[in-house]
Amino acid sequence: MIDVNVSLSRWPFRRLPDDEPEVLVKRLRRLGVTEAWAGSFEALLHVDLSAVNVRLAETCRSSGDGFLRPFGAINPHLPGWREDLRRCADVHRMPGVRLHPNYHGYTLDDPVLAELFDECARRGLVVQIALRMEDERTVHPLLKDLPETDPAPLTKLTSRSPRPRVVLLNALRDLRGEPLKKMLATSDLYVDIGMLEGVAGIEQLVADVGPDRLLFGSHAPFFIADSAHLKMKESELTAAQAEALRTGNARRIVP
């Protein structure tokens, strides 16, 4: 099983269970995960993202023996973002990058996003976009005005050519039904199940949009990793559908 949505380091506002990388890797392995795509919680509020990405790459190398695949943080509103992107690709050999638009203060219709997408496509980098990190009811009081990220502009961004493969993280709390179906019809756009709620939620989601653009993601350690595995267990999926969610779709994105 490939988990496309985990994070390392410390959540800025409280300690989380499993926020030590060795402990997180141990839990994920116990649950049957064989590979995890990892960003860093430090990316949310740190200004020096180059240093954040160095620490992320080092932790992924030292913890798990190739189990953790680093996805570096890029903020296209920082003057050095192009160099950060180059280092993610050429120095750290990362398969992709992770964006946090609401924490970094931009929207997905910002003109710089088109340039970032072009560069990622040229380098073969996957673009992960975290639409949110937590329920707005639990946000720290000083961040109550943190804006939500509207995914609608992605339709235009991902209709251009060349285009990178794009993964929406933590999107399914807000993006459901027909809007989700239309968005997933766009080439090379995928979504993880990290914030999917409801009984037999994955089963219903597959019935609505099909299995081909859905990815297994736990959002661990912010959520206990077992939660995503229980979502898989409680939903009645065919063997082919379950395989697509567990590994097949992720392997199309990152061979």
103-121 pLDDT, tens digit per residue, is 999 999 999 999 999 999 9
Q: Which residues contact 24 (CB under 8 A, 6 or more apart)?
A: 6, 8, 18, 220, 221, 225
Residue 229 φ then ψ, to 5°: -70, -35
Architecture of domain 2-253: Alpha-Beta Barrel (3.20)
pLDDT at position 66 over 80: yes
pLDDT at 129: 98
Bridge partner list, 71:
96
Q: Could you tell me the two tokens for 32?
A: 């049957």
Please check whether residue 82 is in contact with residue 126, taking contact to mean a CB–CB distance below 8 angstroms: no
pLDDT digits (tens, 9 = 90+) for 148-165: 899 999 988 888 888 999
Q: What's the pTM value of the predicted model, to 2 decimals?
A: 0.96
The residue extents of the domains of the chain are 2-253
Please check whether residue 180 is in contact with residue 158, taking contact to mean a CB–CB distance below 8 angstroms: no
Bridge partner list, 189:
166
